[in-house]
């Protein structure tokens, strides 16, 4: 794909899209919530539309739950298998760290049905994860640990014939927690470019989402199995209500952050789809009474969800409290109903509330407003992936580049980069499992191996060079003499055509909170219950409230925004 032929934001359809200068700030990106465009929602929609079925084709476990299973997802045209191995590990060996070396379970999504030889190969390599070499028929590579806060308690309850406490299930939200889900060619597994023509995998991160969905199913099946072994005839299965509220936990750190810096076009595609969806719904002239009711119902549900969302992190808890107050006010305000009956109701609802509510509530409200309008927003998911550009467009002059910098990177030019605070961090790749890390430039070693995430710095340096060159000089001639600007020129040219492709903050500044970058990406995965543990990592839950395999084909199985659980009275 050639840059100049790529899409132009909003050039022909005149949708009232929000400006990148508003959307692409870290504090807003770090306030995003799941929407119906999120990748896990896309996966469930696909399962529903194509009538997927699931079955457990192998189940070989001993009384301690050590063994292996194969769970098949059968689509309209393909079969994918989750191969799971459960291991026996000591409590002290259990760690959420990506650098851990042992896990309760290791697993992989396999393209097709594995042979015995392939299962045998995986039994040796999956358990050592990054240290193993993996088959190209494997689409993902992952591992998980039991949640020590809940697994044993739930098992005890079920084996004694009781359902566990709803509050406990809600407070934790998952039985197992993954620490990494590798995909797309890592450690020898299959490249997605080789299988994209195949099916639903054309959409982003679908293999990873399917892996997590299937391991969630497995986590429920294994606890039911162990309860039966432990309790015999008195044991019960986790009921449907609680099972559905079980998601999969994940501890996400800096490993995720570089993706949204390195893949500008993709970032644009994701944000653009979301922004287009918002623009489409706020352009609706009138709402049917059923749609008005749905919006109100969703706001109430989001409020209840916020009441059930509790974290230790004081800053995030403050934000959650703001959401609670903001939503309560919207619900109680008589104007809300009047606005929804008016013309251009959703546009007015946003305008009316925007200055009264926090950024996090604004973005949560956007998720709500998109939700009822599947018919007008769901097709946007078809434009959330792209082939990334390689060559720089020919016939681009220095004059053009300078013009784009001044127009599109004014935020970067305004920064005073001589300040220590704007040079505080540096990003690097750690020797430990090749994980990205953030170092303090004034303390830590390794600055000379810094990753090129200092975008405003590169912009300012590039401009300084370009203004010394003849205006009509071509880009390639400029790069011949200054190869160090090639990377940033590529970014600039992508930014010209992909307005939402650049985070408009200094990613090495002292105020940068990488968790905002993680949160942005995780919202597109469809994460819920963000539980930040520092500025560098967060826990989340995936697929909480999603239909279980036997519920996929039921009506409304695709609607599961802001899952709530009826809690036990204390």
Partner 1 sequence: MIPISLNEIFSETKKAVRSVNIDWGTAHDTAILSRWLAHHEISFLGSLLKSLELISNKQLSLNILSNNNKKPLSTTLMGILLVEYVCENQLIWKGYIDNPIYLVAAMGIISYEQQVELELKDKNHKLIAYTQNKELFFDFKSNIPLSGFVYLSFNKNKSYKNLIKIDISNIPIIPMVNKKCWEKLKAMAFKTYVPESNKSRISGAGY
Using CB under 8 A, list all residues that contact partner 1: 1-2, 95-100, 133, 136, 179, 184-191, 193-197, 251-255, 389-396, 428-432, 434-435, 437-439, 444-446, 449, 452, 474-477, 479-480, 483-490, 533-534, 536-537
Residue 486 beta carbon to partner 1: minimum distance, rounded to whole angstroms:
3
| Own/partner long-range contacts of 412-418 (Cβ < 8 Å, ≥24 apart) | 412/455, 412/456, 412/459, 412/460, 412/504, 412/506, 413/456, 413/459, 413/460, 413/463, 415/456, 415/460, 415/506, 415/509, 417/456, 417/457, 417/460, 417/506
* Whole-angstrom distance, CA of residue 43 vs CA of residue 205: 9
In the complex, the smallest distance separating the C-beta of residue 428 from partner 1, rounded to whole angstroms, is 4
Q: Are 107 and 94 in contact (CB under 8 A)?
A: no
Shortest Å, Cβ 515 to partner 1? 10
| Burial status of residue 312 (CB atoms within 10 A of its CB: 0-12, 13-18, 19 or more) | exposed
Helix (H, G, I), strand (E, B) or coil at 262: helix
Nearer to partner 1, 237 or 533 (CB): 533
- What is the rounded distance in angstroms from the CA atom of residue 44 to the CA atom of residue 290? 24
Burial of 220 (0-12, 13-18, 19+ CB in 10 A): buried
For partner 1, the closer CB: 369 or 478: 478
Between 96 and 156, name the residue whose CB sits nearer to partner 1.
Answer: 96
Q: Report the residue number, 195 or 220, with the smaller CB distance to partner 1.
A: 195
- CB of 161 or CB of 470, closer to partner 1: 470
**What CA–CA distance (Å, rounded) separates 483 from 479?**
5
Is residue 242 a contact partner of residue 219, using CB atoms and an 8 Å limit? no
Closer to partner 1 by CB, 256 or 350: give it.
256
Q: Please state the closest distance from residue 59 (CB atom) to partner 1, in A.
A: 30
Name which of 488, 480, 538, 490 is nearest 513 in CA terms.
538
Cβ 484 to partner 1 shortest distance, Å? 5
**174-183 and 247-252 as β-strands: parallel, antiparallel, unpaired?**
parallel
Smallest distance from partner 1 to CB 6, Å: 11
Q: Which is nearer to partner 1, 337 or 430 (CB)?
A: 430
Q: How far is the CB of 274 from partner 1 (least distance, A)?
A: 25
Q: Which is nearer to partner 1, 82 or 180 (CB)?
A: 180
Minimum CB–partner distance for residue 429 and partner 1 (Å): 5
Nearest residue (CB) to partner 1, 126 versus 564: 126
CB nearer to partner 1: pick between 289 and 483: 483
Q: What are the tokens at 270?
A: 């994701």
| DSSP H helices in 283-373 | 289-308, 314-332, 334-341, 345-354, 359-370
Residue pair 478/396 in contact by the 8 Å Cβ criterion:
no
The distance of closest approach from Cβ of residue 490 to partner 1 in the complex, given in angstroms and rounded to an integer, is 6
Minimum distance, C-beta of residue 254 to partner 1, in the bound complex (Å): 7
The C-alpha atoms of residue 110 and residue 506 are separated, in whole angstroms, by 40
Q: How many of the other CB atoms lie within 10 Å of CB of 30?
A: 24
Helix (H, G, I), strand (E, B) or coil at 235: coil
Secondary structure of residue 531 in the 3-state scheme: strand
Sign of the Cα torsion 489, 493, 496, 500 reads negative
- Please, which residue, 146 or 244, has the CB nearer to partner 1? 146
What's 189's DSSP letter? P
Owner of token pair 């009956």: 341
Q: How far is the CB of 229 from partner 1 (least distance, A)?
A: 30
Residue with tokens 């205006």: 471
CB of 437 to partner 1, least distance (A): 5
Angle of the 264-282 helix axis to the 486-497 helix axis, nearest 10: 20
Cβ burial, residue 240 (10 Å; 0-12/13-18/19+):
exposed
């Amino acid at each position: 794909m050639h840059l100049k032929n790529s899409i132009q934001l909003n050039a022909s359809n005149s949708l009232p899209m929000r400006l990148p200068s508003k959307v692409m700030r870290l504090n807003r990106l770090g306030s995003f919530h799941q929407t119906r465009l999120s990748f896990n929602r896309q996966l469930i929609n696909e399962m529903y539309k194509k009538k997927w079925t699931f079955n457990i084709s192998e189940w070989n476990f001993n009384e301690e739950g050590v063994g292996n299973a194969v769970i098949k997802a059968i689509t309209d045209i393909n079969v994918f298998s989750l191969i799971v191995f459960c291991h026996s590990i000591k409590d002290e060996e259990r760690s959420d760290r990506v650098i851990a070396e042992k896990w309760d379970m290791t697993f992989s999504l396999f393209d097709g049905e594995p042979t015995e030889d392939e299962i045998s190969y995986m039994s040796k390599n999956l358990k050592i994860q990054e240290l193993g070499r993996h088959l190209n028929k494997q689409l993902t590579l992952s591992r998980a640990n039991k949640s020590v806060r809940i697994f044993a308690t739930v098992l005890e309850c079920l084996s004694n014939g009781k359902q566990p406490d709803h509050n406990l299930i809600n407070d934790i939200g998952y039985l197992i927690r993954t620490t990494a889900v590798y995909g797309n060619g890592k450690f020898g597994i299959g490249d997605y470019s080789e299988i994209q023509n195949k099916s639903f995998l054309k959409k982003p991160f679908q293999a990873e989402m399917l892996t997590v969905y299937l391991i969630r199913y497995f986590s429920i099946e294994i606890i039911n199995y162990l309860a039966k072994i432990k309790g015999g005839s008195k044991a019960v299965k986790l009921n449907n209500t609680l099972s559905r509220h079980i998601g999969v936990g994940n501890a996400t750190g800096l490993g995720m952050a570089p993706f949204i810096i390195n893949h500008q076009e993709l970032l644009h595609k994701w944000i653009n789809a979301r922004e287009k969806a918002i623009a489409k719904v706020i352009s609706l002239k009138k709402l049917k009474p059923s749609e008005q009711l749905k919006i109100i119902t969703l706001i109430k549900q989001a409020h209840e969800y916020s009441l059930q969302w509790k974290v230790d992190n004081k800053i995030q808890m403050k934000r959650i409290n703001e959401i609670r107050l903001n939503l309560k006010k919207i619900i109680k305000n008589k104007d809300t109903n009047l606005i929804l009956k008016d013309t251009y109701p959703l546009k007015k609802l946003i305008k009316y509330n925007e200055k009264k509510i926090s950024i996090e509530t604004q973005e949560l409200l956007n998720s709500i407003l998109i939700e009822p309008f599947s018919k007008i927003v769901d097709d946007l998911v078809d434009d959330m992936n792209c082939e990334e550009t390689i060559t720089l467009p020919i016939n681009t002059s220095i004059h053009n580049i300078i013009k784009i910098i001044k127009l599109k990177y004014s935020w970067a030019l305004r920064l005073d980069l001589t300040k220590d605070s704007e040079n505080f961090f540096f990003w690097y790749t750690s020797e430990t499992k090749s994980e990205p890390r953030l170092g303090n430039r004034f303390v830590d070693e390794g600055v000379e191996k810094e990753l090129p995430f200092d975008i405003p710095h590169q912009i300012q340096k590039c401009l300084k060079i370009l203004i010394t060159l003849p205006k009509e000089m071509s880009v390639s001639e400029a790069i011949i003499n200054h190869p160090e600007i090639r990377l940033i020129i590529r970014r600039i040219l992508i930014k010209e055509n992909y307005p939402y492709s650049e985070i408009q903050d200094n990613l090495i500044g002292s105020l940068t909170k990488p968790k905002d970058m993680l949160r942005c990406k995780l919202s597109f995965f469809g994460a819920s219950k963000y539980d930040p543990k520092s500025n560098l990592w967060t826990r989340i839950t995936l697929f909480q409230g999603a239909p279980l395999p036997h519920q996929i084909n039921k009506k409304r199985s695709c609607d599961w925004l802001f899952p709530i659980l009826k809690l036990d009275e204390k």
